[in-house]
Structure 1
């Protein structure tokens, strides 16, 4: 069995390296290829100990949670390093609208659908809305800022890519309070009250921001600021430092009751701000991108195997309807409404609203929540979550590249009002 696992790992590593080049400029993506391959593998009559639901994530909650958590941490560090747009209330205005308006509204609407169409209890329905809330910095590679060394037309000036990267970097952490609130309402002690909400839900976000700023400043100094070349990390050009950026802020934040995901993204943004144009950012990002490819290959292949091997047992068409409404209606409509009057403009607003890719964050929060407090209807949560991710990978994987390139070619990615991104772009739409 161990030999087989080594062989599969080798094939996955090879696929993670080769597939991005094979599917470049084609109307499908590496995640979509891996998902389809996984479904095909799951449908095969595999011999024991495989088959008969062996890949069901509900049977491996701790492992699934740890794997997804690792992938998120690496992707958050890479996403933060890619943010070239300086921090600011107006400069990040579109992202603030998505985080402050679209995300809570989407949780509420999906919770209503879960209660009404799926007959979930209100608390479990809220949990469904919460786990479907985060967008994915790993799977959104075609719509986010590609890397730290790209030109301003793909980074600072690009309203679509900057906004989606910032949103994906922050909403993985901002989802946590909603998940914890849903678990509390479902019956996990303590009972929610004002003091608990402040201390356990709100305060950790603030602590995460502070830890991220401190860790980012310290790591930025170690990379670029120290006078000694022996200790200046940028002089080593070693991508492994990305793991320090991903793990240290998270660990410190969690130890002091902070939000670790928020801390990692803030730390990476702070490191980028310390020395915005240094080539070492690309070294770190390239290393992280290689790890992300492997995580994507494993996660989507595993999800596909689970879908083909029995995860959909008990499936009801209304579950697919909910997944379709989430991807094709709820996020696009709520995102578009939140961006009305924003710097994004008409064309960019439509793209930003539509390309809210669902992915590993959903897998993590499902495993995280159900490992701590099993709730009734958890099989429904897994089916709807898996179907939503699969549909998002299918739709966004086919449409993302061609759509974004067309909008960028027409200039529709530029902000419409003076200088929200630090530079002024022409008006459009």
Structure 2
């Protein structure tokens, strides 16, 4: 644990030192944490021994935190304004991505249909952790930022039931998770309900005479809501990812001043949990994983990551009235990240047939996506800004 703490501290310091370069160039803090983890892990120095369970937990915490923070960029007014485009992404592009990945995994890699479908389900959602790199850039058109934020905020929680259901059909028994369709539906409903109810209850509490927060402690209010929500979701087996995004949106809708006060704290929390989860993920990887994926698996990742999202999103945005540049931005930026990692570990530990191959292919795809999307967010932002200026 001490060695891991030192490695994390070094990675964090290095990320801070290169942050000015990352803000205007292709080098990203994401790649820094990933690179340090790879060097410290079995791929190079083998200084730490990380378990799949630890990586799953770290990825879930990071995903929950980012979804809660990103939800605060999407109050009800924003969701209402971009729902047509975001709805197309959720209803059309996500299922199409799932189908394209599954078909590719079956015919290119040779996975059986059920295993290929599991891989398609866990690689279909757009990851909010890496999408936030583009969402947070002011030079990106508002429509693109809002659409990516709402899409990535909701499709991770919606993909989880599909992954669990398909893993169950493929013979897997994910520990601590249900594969029953009715229970999965109930978890989705509970997640949305708690995501609205918990912050709403806190807002009502603030209206009690004599109750209030001093200025310096106000940022801790939303953080307390997030911690309570995580625990409650765990106790009642609710879908915590949908709950997180809905809670963030509810806070921003009912208490915009609290959401604004929390933003600087939230951004720091976001960087910390993202870095820790990336480091844990990278230290889990070992050479045998790449052997399992094989050359065909690497080719699969190199093909699926840059191709499946545009093929799915381009028809989904047809007729949406968006400029070509914005459609291209939405089509390219569909990163795979912590949701895919967490779900892949769940599948790996489920005992499902071909679980190792699914995990290896998902991991290689995430690595390709992390490098590609985290290094291209700056040039893509600049291109979108230039296109917007020409049209204006």
Structure 2 residue aligned with 1:339, among 304, 311, 317? 317
Cα distance in 2 for residues equivalent to 1:68 and 1:263: 16
Assess, with a 3 A threshold, how the Cα gap between structure 1 residues 12 and 239 changes in structure 2: closer, same or farther: farther
Gaps of 5+ in 2: none
Matched, 1:262 2:261: no
| Alignment check: 8 A CA contact 2:199 2:247 kept | yes
Deviation at 1:186, TM superposition (A): 0.9
Unaligned runs of 5+ in 1: 414-426
1:54-203 aligned at under 5 Å gives the runs 54-55=49-50, 60-84=51-75, 86=77, 91-145=82-136, 158-188=142-172, 196-197=180-181, 199-203=182-186
For 1:309 and 1:291, the matched residues in 2 are separated by 32
Question: CA offsets, 1:186-243, max 9 Å, x none?
Answer: 12479xxxx953x223333233222212123223445xx5254x53247443433343
Aligned-pair distance for 1:257?
Answer: 4.6
Asked if 2 retains the 8 angstrom alpha-carbon contact of 1:12 and 1:294, the reply is: no
CA separation of 1:364 and 1:233: change in aligned 2, threshold 3 A: farther
Q: Could you say if the C-alpha distance between residues 263 and 95 of structure 1 is closer, same or farther in structure 2, counting changes exceeding 3 Å?
A: same
Question: What's the offset of the Cα at 1:126?
Answer: 1.3
2:297 paired with 1:319: yes
After TM superposition, the structure 1 = structure 2 runs for residues 347-358 of structure 1, keeping only pairs within 5 Å, are 347-358=325-336
1:411 matched to 2:388? The reply is yes
The TM-score normalised by the length of structure 1 is: 0.81
* Contact 2:309–2:331, Cα closer than 8 Å, also in 1: yes
Deviation at 1:394, TM superposition (A): 1.7
Task: Give the TM-score normalised by structure 2.
Answer: 0.88
Post-superposition shift, 1:256?
4.1
Query: How many angstroms apart in 2 are the aligned matches of 1:41 and 1:63?
Result: 16
Distance 1:249 1:296, change over 3 A: closer
The structure in which a higher percent of residues are helix is 2
Measured in 1, the distance between the counterparts of 2:237 and 2:39 equals: 43
What is the 5 A alignment of 1:20-39? 20-39=19-38
1:218 aligns with 201
Shift in CA distance, 320/170, structure 1 to aligned 2, threshold 3 Å = same
Counterpart contact for 2:128–2:149, Cα < 8 Å:
yes
Matched, 1:381 2:380: no
CA contact (8 A) 2:136 2:145 kept: yes
Conserved 8 A contact 1:358-1:388 = yes
Greater Cα offset, 81-90 or 341-350? 81-90
The 5 A counterparts of 1:8-23 are 8-23=7-22
